A and B are shown apart, each in its own frame.
Chain A
Amino acid sequence: MLFKNTTNEFIKIVSKPRSYLGLGALTLLIGLIIFAMKADGESMVSFVTATFEQTLSFNGKLVNGNLIAFIILQMLVVHIPLLIALVTGDLISGEAAMGTIRMLASKPISRTQIVLSKFIAGAIYTLVITLWLGILSLVVSHLVFGAGDLMVLNSDGLVILPEADILWRFGLAFCVAYLSLLTVATLSICLSAFAENSIGPIVATMAIIIVFTIIGSLDVTVFDTIKPYLFTTHMASWRSFFEDPVPFDDILNSIVILLAHIVLLVGITLFKFNRKDITS
């Protein structure tokens, strides 16, 4: 029954126009970034490298597919949560708003299976968005700009990664980025179980991300104890794969915290939905 309802959930997602909003917006944004970098990328990179030119000499093609993919990932991972929440925040509350939750919950499928199938479908949708981001950013950037070494400016300074040492980093970075986005998807599905309309969970998800991000960026000691446990603190941990050496312990810690959030949020959703009186 879980598989059958997951199929149902996926059919519902692919049949809703809003599901294509994320893919369309990503395509448009990545197209714009590639266009802008093609038109003015060299001068932008020169501006960054100017401060190092007294001590370093840069040879080869700095504006290449790897750099563009990195820039795209950095720019968009912050905004994709909204595109994800647009779909996943509607998964339970949308059924309540439409009235179909009555039909669904009076069928011989357990409420746990209903919730889990929605999580699985949400996870698949998030994966599709992440893969689309990966394919567009890496493949199209390489087709337009070609390959080359990757120059990354970190808080510790400039890191230059050889071309042959980059692909695996992108692969793992996308995996961790997916986990971050999955946490957002899980949060919005969880909020969706508490609401009877579609807008509330979507807005609430974004509000939580904004509040947590602000708390994480405030240099106030009172928040220091909670900062390491906020999922927003770990949403940028994909970037650590572009450090040299890679801080695997820190990344593992981020993965554990993100997974813990997912498990906790799924647990809360199951608890709430299993006890919910369906009166809509």
Chain B
Amino acid sequence: MEQQTIIKVRDLSKKFGSFEAVKDVSFTVHKGDVFGFLGPNGAGKSTTIRCLLSLISPDNGTIELFGKSLHKNRSEILANIGSIIEKPDFYKYLSAQKNLEIFARISGANVSKKEILKMLDFVGLGNRAKHKVKGFSHGMKQRLGIAQTLLHQPELIILDEPTTGLDPQGIIEIRNLILRLKNEQNKTILLSSHQLSEIELIANRMVIINQGKSIVEGSVEELLNSEETIVRVEIDGIEPAMDLIRSKFNPKELTQTSSKEAEVLLSKSRVPDLTKELVLAGFTIHAIEPKRKLEDYFIKTIQS
């Protein structure tokens, strides 16, 4: 069955003066995707996202959301999108509840006060509803931003760098929230982030853009060839251990990275055997862990 297309961007271009921020960016997001939108600083991610939200007018190209042209159906489309762009900014002199009431009023849906309070509870700000936003930490504002994004029950959620500036606990909370939105509510999520490990953990599809152009697009699993994985081994007696690995597993890549560490490229199914062989040979093992591959893939792609 053909998947329903939620976002279809074709040949998007935007210039600011003589600077070409985006040139011929194209990608497609399907219903239910958590779509990673990757690129180094200045690659054109934010400009593209702002074009999707009608904040910036593109010079060329087409944007279709929910199968309709954004240019011709702006209000109808935006009523079905929730977004955080870079960082959620609120009216600091108003309370969290008043801020949500303001955005709910123009969200295109009828959102009751009860639903607003319920949403504040959902993001863990129920007890701060009446507090002014000027006293909120960055993490609390981020959670309020998520509440604002979800208020009107949009089908598509666009999050531009939602974990920037958050502490590890905050990053985990946002990650779990995104996974809950995907799994429990079947939302489609476009996620731009510098945290490649985050994207690798939660995205099923992705596009990488660089210097304003889309370079690769596809399923995260296929692009990272998830049949194989790099395993970091930390062990006493690294050299004999490497000899053992070489003789038993004949890996494609095996590199010593420090006096106690090595990295080995193996098929995922052989990782338990690797652990078993090292234990049986009597090595003292400090760590055996898969290394995230997106970072390597990203750097290789950008450099190529």
Contacts and interface: CB of A to CB of B under 8 A. Distances in A.
Contacts of A155: none
A51 interface: no
A108 B107 contact: yes
Contacts of B98: 11, 15
B56 A277 contact: yes
Interface stretch (A59-67, A95-103, A188-196, A233-241): A95-103
A17 B103 CA distance: 21
A253 interface: no
Nearest to A7: B105
Contacts of B20: none
Interface string A74-107: 0000000000000000000000001110111111
Contacts of A108: 74-79, 106-108
A90 to B, nearest CB: 12
Interface residues of B, number: 33
B56 A279 contact: yes
B92 interface: yes
A4 B103 CA distance: 10
B88 interface: yes
A8 B90 CA distance: 13
A107 B55 contact: no
Given A106-B53, A108-B76, A278-B50, A1 B81 contact: no
Contacts of B105: 4-5, 7-8
Contacts of B50: 277-279
A11 B97 CA distance: 13
Given A7-B105, A16-B93, A106-B54, A99 B87 contact: yes
B85 A5 contact: no
Interface in A1-31: 1, 4-5, 7-8, 11-12, 15-17
Interface in A173-206: none
Given A5-B105, A100-B90, A109-B75, A275 B57 contact: yes
Nearest to A105: B55
Interface in B63-96: 74-79, 81, 83, 85-94
B172 interface: no
A102 B89 contact: yes
B56 A106 contact: no
Nearest to B47: A279
A175 B98 CA distance: 34
A110 interface: yes
Contacts of B76: 108
Contacts of B75: 108-110
Contact of B106 (A1, A15, A275): A1
B107 A106 contact: no
Interface core residue of B86, B98, B102 (most chain A CB under 10 Å): B102
A275 to B, nearest CB: 7
Nearest to B75: A108
B148 interface: yes
A12 B90 CA distance: 11
A277 B55 CA distance: 6
Contacts of A15: 91, 93-94, 98
A8 B78 contact: no
A8 B55 CA distance: 20
Nearest to A18: B93
6 contacts: A98-B91, A105-B53, A106-B55, A106-B81, A108-B77, A110-B75
| A-B complex: 10 closest residue pairs judged by Cβ atoms | A99-B89, A108-B79, A106-B53, A278-B55, A108-B108, A108-B78, A108-B75, A277-B56, A4-B105, A107-B106
Given A16-B93, A110-B75, A277-B56, 4 more contacts: A11-B94, A105-B53, A106-B81, A110-B74
Interface of B: 16, 50, 53-57, 74-79, 81, 83, 85-94, 98, 102-103, 105-108, 148
